[in-house]
Structure 1
Amino acid sequence: MSEVLFYQLSKFPLERALPTLLEKCLERDWVVTVQFATEERCDAIDAYLWTYSEDGFLPHGTKKEGHPEYQPIYLTTESDNPNEAIVRFLVDRAPLPDPAQYQRVVYMFDGNDQDALQEARKRWVEVKDTGHDLTYWAQTDSGGWDRKA
């Protein structure tokens, strides 16, 4: 059984929230794939992860660099799993894979966008019926996360 986590962005944008969650994954030696809905967003986050912190960066790659099997974090718009990730992040309404393919699936959505919020609710119901462990997290004012369900 997989864990499926829904993270509602409401206080801070993806650019602030995603690196912190990815850092936690790397601390646990988890291999990660992050799937985006568009190439433009994938490219923007790719560039951002190299410079988001003055004292470091997140090691990652995309299809452009090749060798996905060596990437601890792989950014993509496709549904494949070329780095054999055990954790899959879905952002910007990227399609939800079969959670059984991963130990953990993290679905991040913009809670200030009514369409994204409605879609997240629909996906919650779909996953709830599959028997996977399901949790919902909301951002705190400090940028952390509170478990709500």
Structure 2
Amino acid sequence: MNGVDTDTPTSGKERSQVGFYHLTRTPLAEALPKLLERSLKTGERSVVRCPDATTLAGLDKAMWSSSVCLWLPHGHVYDGDEAFQPIWLACDDAVPNGARFLFRVDGAGGEDLTGFKRVFDLFDGADPQSVTRARERWRAAKGAGHELAYWKQEETGWRQAG
């Protein structure tokens, strides 16, 4: 109808590139807008899966006030027009904007990652439980045959490690 494929991306069988982003220097609300800005520059749409409505509201606010760029075009269920949003914030597994990039906040959402070109799994390095859960997700993604990468924050930015 509007030219945007709104099928859930999990219908395909291809493997995703899954990057685990270990937040050690900046909070999520500061790190995520920078990563989303880079994804927009590639021309890809993104969906950000949040573990709860409080996180979603905090990220929505952070994206409006981010110093990274002038504006990060995004929306969420309370805004509507999901098919037109290049970045969609959600607390469920829906992908109404046809996104091929998935940003998972501390593993939010289901485990089926197929159909996404890239998955960014962001987790808090200061929270031992978050790190343990990220290790479990790593093993699951590896077992599913996804291409994995581990990214660690350093003073000058992200560095692929291990």
Q: Hey, what's the Cα distance between the residues in 2 that align with 1:55 and 1:23?
A: 7
Partner of 1:77: 91
Partner of 2:19: 5
Secondary structure at the aligned position of 2:139 is classed as: helix
Deviations for 1:90-113, whole angstroms, at most 9, x for unmatched residues? 013413431212111110000110
Structure 1 segments, 4+ long, off by >6 Å, are none
**Distance apart, 1:131 and its partner CA:** 1.3
Deviations for 1:43-92, whole angstroms, at most 9, x for unmatched residues? 11112211112861101001111110000000011111111100000013
Q: Hey, what's the Cα distance between the residues in 1 that align with 2:133 and 2:70?
A: 34
Which stretch has the larger CA shift, 69-78 or 86-95? Answer: 86-95
Q: TM-score, structure 2 length as denominator?
A: 0.87
Checking the alignment, whether the CA contact within 8 Å between 2:47 and 2:87 is kept in structure 1 is yes
* 1:146 aligned partner, one-letter code: R
Checking the alignment, whether the CA contact within 8 Å between 2:33 and 2:68 is kept in structure 1 is no
Partner of 2:138: 124
Matches within 5 A, 1:23-38: 23-38=37-52
Q: TM-score, structure 1 length as denominator?
A: 0.94
Q: Hey, what's the Cα distance between the residues in 2 that align with 1:54 and 1:21?
A: 10
Secondary structure at the aligned position of 1:100 is classed as: coil
Secondary structure at the aligned position of 1:101 is classed as: coil
Secondary structure at the aligned position of 1:146 is classed as: strand
Checking the alignment, whether the CA contact within 8 Å between 2:92 and 2:109 is kept in structure 1 is no
Q: Hey, what's the Cα distance between the residues in 2 that align with 1:93 and 1:125?
A: 13
Q: 1:125 to 1:49 in 2, by over 3 A?
A: same
Partner of 2:161: 148
Checking the alignment, whether the CA contact within 8 Å between 2:103 and 2:119 is kept in structure 1 is yes
Checking the alignment, whether the CA contact within 8 Å between 1:90 and 1:96 is kept in structure 2 is no
Matched residues, percent identical? 36
Segments of structure 2 that go 5 or more residues without pairing to the other structure are 1-14
Q: Among residues 86, 92, 97, which one is paired with 2:106 in the alignment?
A: 92
Segments of structure 1 that go 5 or more residues without pairing to the other structure are none
